[in-house]
Amino acid sequence: RISMDTLAFPPSVWKRCAGDIDFELFRKGPVHMGLDLSARNDLTAAVLCAEDDEGVVHVLPYVFCPTSGIEDRARRDRAPYDLWVRQKHMIPVGGQTMDFDQIAEAIGDELSEIGIQVTTVQYDKHMITHFQAACERAGVLQDAEWVGVPQFFKDMGARLSSLTGLMVDSKLKHGGHPVLTMAASVAVAKAGREGVSALAKNLSTQRIDPVVALTMAAWPFGDGREVIEEFDIAAWVG
């Protein structure tokens, strides 16, 4: 049998986009956030994108994990989470688990430290109402526009195509962030019935949350710039 899945991000293209990011762009804005929430004992990713004067999209990832049990998760996922926490590439929150209030407060702390005002939050609807309530309690992301992104092949496939187009044109800089790179190294483009491909993973222990968040965050600076999407209420009911 021939697999229809291929790596979503070819290593050579990913490495070519590993230039240093400009933090000042995130202070000036606009800034779009991609948000991929996870189970309480797993990774949550909030990835920010901002654009420079040459149309290059700069990427600033924040990846959160529970404080306790990092070494066990590192062995399970075969990734050096404990090292990345020490290097401040991952942000530990809470104890054995993270709740949405802890994550919201942590995101607020990170944004305040640099002075970032988020323009839109591009999100997966999974558990989002609970997280929005936590953000309201923490006073976080209250001025941002929240934009729901259906996680279907048509919607995410268009966003993945837009992101890969930016990368092929060298219009993306991700700074070589190790957690984001780990996710990119295992993310596959799974073919769908609509003739497009969306992100997937081959193993349950693989983590692609950061690149899912990136795919949503980069859309307003890519093909989504000129697209006025009609809100499909049927996709969000039930």
Task: Report the distance separating Cα 234 and Cα 237, nearest Å.
Answer: 5
Tokens of 62: 């924040």
Calculate helix-pair angle for 209-218, 178-186, nearest 10 degrees: 100
pLDDT tens-digit map of 156-180: 889 999 999 999 999 999 999 999 9
Q: What proportion of the chain, given as a percentage, has pLDDT over 90?
A: 63
**How many other C-beta atoms can be found within 10 angstroms of the C-beta atom of residue 24?**
12
For residue 36, with 0-12 CB atoms within 10 Å meaning exposed, 13-18 middle and 19 or more buried, which class applies? buried
- What integer pLDDT is reported at residue 195 of this predicted model? 63
- What integer pLDDT is reported at residue 233 of this predicted model? 44
Contact (CB, 8 A) for 55 and 170: no
Residues of the chain predicted below pLDDT 50:
1-4, 228-233, 235-238
Tokens of 231: 């809100």
- What integer pLDDT is reported at residue 3 of this predicted model? 47
- What integer pLDDT is reported at residue 182 of this predicted model? 94
- What integer pLDDT is reported at residue 204 of this predicted model? 61
- What integer pLDDT is reported at residue 78 of this predicted model? 87
3-class secondary-structure state, position 189: strand
**Residue appearing with tokens 């994990």:** 65
- What integer pLDDT is reported at residue 76 of this predicted model? 86
pLDDT tens-digit map of 54-86: 999 999 999 998 888 888 888 888 889 999 999
Our CA dihedral for 157, 29, 129, 125, rounded to 10 degrees, sits at 0
Tokens of 207: 């983590």
**How many other C-beta atoms can be found within 10 angstroms of the C-beta atom of residue 132?**
18
**How many other C-beta atoms can be found within 10 angstroms of the C-beta atom of residue 158?**
20
Our CA dihedral for 228, 151, 31, 231, rounded to 10 degrees, sits at 30
